[in-house]
Amino acid sequence: MSQRQNSSPLTHQVTLTVLTLAAFALAILVGFGFYAAFQADHASLERQKMFIADGLKDQIAAVEREQESVSIWDDSVTNAKTGNQEWMAENLSVWMYTYYGHNQVYILDAADHPVHAMREGKVVDTSAFGEDASALLPTIGKLRAMLARPPKADASGQPARMVAEDLISLGGKPAILSVMPLVPNSSRVTQAPGTEYLHVSVEFINDAVVGRIAGKYLLDGARLAPLSQTVGAAAVPLVDSHGVILGYIGWDQERPGLDLLHKMGPALGVALLVAGGVLAFLLRRLRRASFALQSSQDQAQYLAFHDTLTGLPNRALFEDRLRRMLLFAGYDAARVALLYLDLDRFKHVNDTLGHPAGDELVRQTAARLRHTIREVDTVARIGGDEFAIILLDVRDVRSAEDIAERLLQKLCEPFRLIDDQIFVGASIGIALSAGPETDADDLLRKADIALYEAKKNGRGRYQVFAGDMDDLLLRKRKVEAELRKALTGAGGIKLAYQPVYAGEGRRILGAEALIRWGHEVHGALPAAQFIAIAEERGLIGELGKWALTEACRFAAATELPWIAVNISPMQLRDVNFAEEVASILQETGLDPARLQLETTESVLLEHNDAIGSVIAALRKSGIRMVLDDFGTGYSSLSYLRRQAIDKLKIDRSFVRLLDEDPSASAIVKALIDLARALDVEVTAEGVETEEQRVLLLAMGCNQLQGYLFSPPLEPGQFLSLPGLSAGPQELTNARA
Ligand code: C2E
Ligand code: MG
Ligand code: MG
């Protein structure tokens, strides 16, 4: 299993989410900080502007107040009207410059002609008024209008103040202009309306004035900015009564928000670093946790779809892949081949070398299979020693067969297991997809049937599924189902008994029990056929037990010297078989010495210790073992020599040839001699003619069985044979 370090999607996702959230939080924090600072700065600027505007108003009011201190005065009225230049300079003009900083003062008569002029603390010629007249006259006119039509007293009864003021531009410099009439402060001096002299005062708004205004509010860097100069946000325009901008008062803007940020900057930086560190730490732990989670998730996923022993895909993953492959293959001409593979001698390895060796064999098999097929093909472990292989892009049956051939060759090579060289071999069933409609289950079933056929036809080979295998299987299934029914007591199964005679043909030595199944639909099925089905379908144990019990019960009720019962090799593989037989003998009351068990040679060839000990146990209890159909298989002399059996039955195929083929009689003679040499009994099966009988007798075989004497008989018929008797009740309920 390949573990992907650090790059699991889950880990990525977790990291990304946390980082995004952190970045988002940081952006909000920083954004909000700047926004708050900006808002604070903005509010502060508005306040600063208000301060400057108020300061300017105060400055104008101050000019008026200062002017008032001299314009409402009896002496001013009289001295102005008498044209006392010295007095006017001392009290109305130079004095204003010295004490209050007014830059220009003009005293005008009732007809607005200048009678006195002062500039920058010096009395100058009255003609100077002419230079400034255009800027001054509109405000002067306003005051004259007020004087001509005095405004009403205000709510508190105070008479309205007679003053006209404005911001003006003199020689390009902004200035505060204030105009007031000279009026007496007592009744000692009287003045007819319309004859008032005017006091015109001008104060330039210069840097000093601006500094005074700003200084009151502790604003730094205050300056006068002329129109031509660009000003920042921190500026208040100087606007005259007509809305004309004359210049600006600018200052260094106070930014409390930004200042705060500046001051907090380093602390924030440190805090961010710490937070970053904590985040990194948490992230690392989170990544580790999510990586662990991902790994265990991957592990679980892997385990769910793979076989732990071999690492191959398991059945679930295999079936899923097969379905997909079939779907894809449906769209092009190429076909999918399914190979079902089963080891031939796996059980043997497991039984003799133990499970660890069996596991090792499976592992090595998996490796060989994987190395033999292409990368695109799939090999999966389906069961104990069963493997399935999906081959893609198979052109025809031949190419699938080639691969099967190669696989078989590979598995024929010896395996090294626990210092032992083991030859195993395998069988393969092949099924090919047919067009887009191929169903995965159907293909699996066909490959399985083909595998079964391959095994039946001798193992170590492959078999391609053929259409008629299906029919055969269906028939077998049907027989199996009916056999099960019959075994549950529905009836139909019986035993027939065929006597075995002594050579002269009159004396009954014993009998062989042969199973019969008279089926209502299929008619009588040959015993060999349904026995084979029972073996295939796992019914043989039950069927065999029934036959054994039945035969023993029958024999126990007769004076028959012995009864022979056929035993399937499969029954002998059951380690409990000897005990089972013993309990049947006990139950039926038959003496073990009266029981013979017939089995074929194949089972003896397995060299299986378990079978060997079962046979030994059976023989030890007094039961005799008979080798049936002797001569048809690979006769194992060593087995005979080890005296594991008590009797040979020469197969009827040899007996039949006795009349026709002289070489056959030589073989039969040899077989009989062999039996005698080994000191085992010998029976000839299928004796049908008198000639055979005579020949066999002459050769020394004196146990004969066959149609010449009697076919297998129903129990009742059998018991009526001359020379036999039985207890009455057993005969009838032999098959209860
Ligand atoms: P087998 O044990 O070799 O049985 C002898 C077969 O030869 C029987 O066939 C019998 O009817 C037949 N036979 C007897 N005399 C003659 C003759 O003169 N000429 C010819 N042509 N045939 C003769 P059957 O009953 O059809 O049994 C076939 C095989 O089925 C048996 O061969 C035996 O292997 C198996 N079988 C029968 N009953 C049982 C049983 O209860 N259990 C097991 N496991 N196998 C059984
Ligand atoms: Mg037999
Ligand atoms: Mg036989």
The architecture of the domain spanning 315-466 is 2-Layer Sandwich (3.30)
pLDDT, position 415: 92
Q: What ligand 1 atom has the least distance to the C-alpha of 544?
A: 42
Q: What was the pLDDT predicted at 584?
A: 97
Q: Is any atom of ligand 1 closer than 6 Å to the C-beta of 629?
A: yes
Q: What's the gap in Å between 161 CA and the centre of ligand 3? A: 152
Ligand 3: centre distance to CA 627 (Å): 9
CA distances, 61 to each of 51, 56, 64, 150, 497 (Å): 15, 9, 5, 20, 148
Residue 523's pLDDT is 64
Q: Specify the amino acid at residue 480.
A: E
**C-alpha of residue 499 to centroid of ligand 3, in Å:** 13
Class of residue 128 by CB neighbours under 10 A (exposed 0-12, middle 13-18, buried 19+): middle
pLDDT at 520: 62
Atom of ligand 1 nearest to the CA of 495: 41
Q: Are strands 508-519 and 426-432 parallel, antiparallel or unpaired?
A: unpaired
Per run of 10 residues, the mean pLDDT along the chain (length 736 residues) is 54 83 89 91 91 91 92 92 93 93 94 94 93 92 90 75 91 92 90 91 90 84 81 86 89 87 88 89 85 86 89 92 83 82 88 88 95 92 93 88 94 87 91 82 90 87 83 78 81 91 90 87 77 87 94 95 95 92 97 95 71 91 92 68 83 88 87 90 95 94 94 94 56 35
Q: Which of 495, 516, 577, 685 to mutate to test the pocket of ligand 1 (most atoms within 8 A of CB)?
A: 685
3-state SS, 435-466, equals CCCCCHHHHHHHHHHHHHHHHHCCCCCEEECC
Q: Whose CA is nearest to atom 42 of ligand 1?
A: 566
547 lines ligand 1 (CB under 6 A): yes
Give residue 510's pLDDT.
95
For residue 688 and ligand 1, the question of a CB distance below 6 A is answered with: yes
527 lines ligand 1 (CB under 6 A): yes
Determine if ligand 1 sits within 6 Å of the CB of residue 710. Answer: no
- Other CB atoms within 10 Å distance of the CB of residue 439: 11
Three-state DSSP class for residue 236 = strand
pLDDT at 3: 42
pLDDT at residue 635, rounded to an integer: 62
Work out whether the CA dihedral 664, 669, 672, 673 comes out positive or negative. negative
Q: Is 692 in the pocket of ligand 1 (CB under 6 A)?
A: no
Please identify, in words, the CATH class of the domain defined by 51-150+159-250: alpha beta
Q: How far apart are CA 213 and CA 249, in angstroms?
A: 10
Rounded to the nearest angstrom, the distance between the alpha carbon of 528 and the centre of ligand 1 is 7
- The DSSP code for 490 is I
Query: What span, in angstroms and rounded, lies between the C-alpha atoms of 198 and 215?
Result: 33
Residue 713 Cβ < 6 Å to ligand 1: no
- The domain spans of the chain are 51-150+159-250, 315-466, 487-735
Q: Which residues contact 46 (CB under 8 A, 6 or more apart)?
A: none
The CATH code for residues 487-735 is 3.20.20.450
Q: Is the CB of 360 under 6 A from ligand 1?
A: no
Distance CA 379, CA 318 (A): 8
Residues 41, 35: Cα–Cα separation, whole Å = 10
- 627 CA to centre of ligand 2 in angstroms: 9
Identity at 475, one-letter amino acid code:
R
pLDDT at residue 475, as a whole number: 78
